[in-house]
Every structure is written in C-alpha cells, then in structure tokens.
Structure 1
Amino acid sequence: MQRFRAAVEARDAAAMEACLADDVVFTSPVAFRPYPGKPITAAILRGVLRVFEDFRYLREINDAGGHDHALLFEATIAGKRLTGCDFLHVNADGLIDDFMVMVRPLSGATALAAAMAEQFERIQREAVEAVAREAR
C-alpha cells in the first residue's frame, strides 16, 4: 500500500490511477450505490484531490496476508474537519480492486457530500472520456 499512499500524499493522480485494478469497485461514504470500474474510480479520486484541504494520512493498518489495508486520514472541506478511513483490498497483482471510504463526523460527511456533488458533472465527464480513450 506504500505505492498508493505515496501517490496520494504527492497528489499524483496518474500514480493513484496506476494502483487501481480495471475492475475496482469504489464505495463512497456519501453515495448509496458503489461505483464499478477504473475510469469512474480514478475520476472520483481526482475530484477528492480537488476538494480535500490539508489532507494527511495518520496511520496505516495492514493484514498479515497483505491484501487488506486501512489508511486513516484527516482532511478539511469547506472549513469542516473530518477523519476518515480508506479500506482497500488488493488483488493477486497488487492492484486495488475494492476501495471503500468512511468518514466522520456527520458535519464533515455533509461537507464532503456537498463538495463532491459540485464536482460530479466533471467526474462523470472525465470517466466517459477515459472509457472513450480506452475504446480507441
């Protein structure tokens, strides 16, 4: 998980995307349904980079088998401080195939939901463009 963590901390969207499996499923802390696929997950992560301020990882927890990881973080969104955790599963190739995020407190989750809602048209457009590029 060091590669993904380093990419996030460097705010390197391309390196973050390179850590994702094609069949990754992203589960948002503020959306009801999960988002399947690398194009939408990468676009969501780019959106998060745009809205999180003062982002930093606090702790990393890894299972003995090396497939499950938890990355505890803090960030600010629109003046609201939040704490969250990225729960990641990596496949046999070492790529993230399951990515679930949880955040607290409610005021932080609400600020995140509002900020990401403002980003969502751009996120969808970026995902569609990525799928179109792959199809060529």
Structure 2
Amino acid sequence: MNTALWIIAGLLAAVFLIAGSNKLFIPREKLAKAPGGGWVLDFGPRFVKALGALEILGAVGLILPALLGIAPILVPVAATGLTTIMVGAAIVTCRRREFGHTLLDLAYAVLVAFVAFGRFGPESFTG
C-alpha cells in the first residue's frame, strides 16, 4: 500500500502543480477560453490566483515533507486540503452542468482522499 500511496501522491502532485501554475500565471481571461475553464469567470482574479497558490502548496505538501522527513504529518494534511478543494470544484462544475468535469473532479477528490486516509492511518509516517 505504501508504494501505491507514493505513486498516487506523485502523480497528483504533478497534476496539482500544473493546474496551480496555470491558475497562478495565466491570465483569467485566457483560462476561461480553455475547455472547461469557463468557471473562472464566476470568480474574481484574486480568488483564482489564491486557488492556484493553494494547489501548488498542496502539491508540494504531498511529497516534500515525507521525502525530507521533516514534519511528515503535513502529507495527509495537504491531501485533506486538496480533497476539500476538489469537492468544491465538483460542486462548482455540477452547478454549471459540466458533468464530465464533475466526474473528473470527484475522481481527483477520491484519489487525494485515499492518500489522506492512507497517511493518517495504516501507512502513517509517524507510526
């Protein structure tokens, strides 16, 4: 299970690093033109930038604390935060009736919740 958690956390870290960087560095108007990006127009530019920063911090938090052995409890905390973000994303896309994106958001939420469960529980770094 430890190997599966590392693989999933690594893949999710890459996904959230890319998604967060896009939100942080690409203008909101350009993001809105991307497929499934219309949701950014429902929020202010500061919110989109803050969300991008949180996703980047979450991506770093999935890997770096455990890799360096410094405060590894931050791994499941970061995973819990990212789960919350993805549940929020699923709610937004569902309200926009973008059900394909809703399913993708929920899939990410389940994967990141699995990492949180695994790292808080059976494969904890602190136990």
The TM-score with structure 2 as length reference comes to: 0.31
Query: Which one has the largest radius of gyration?
Result: 2
Structure richer in strand, relative to its length: 1
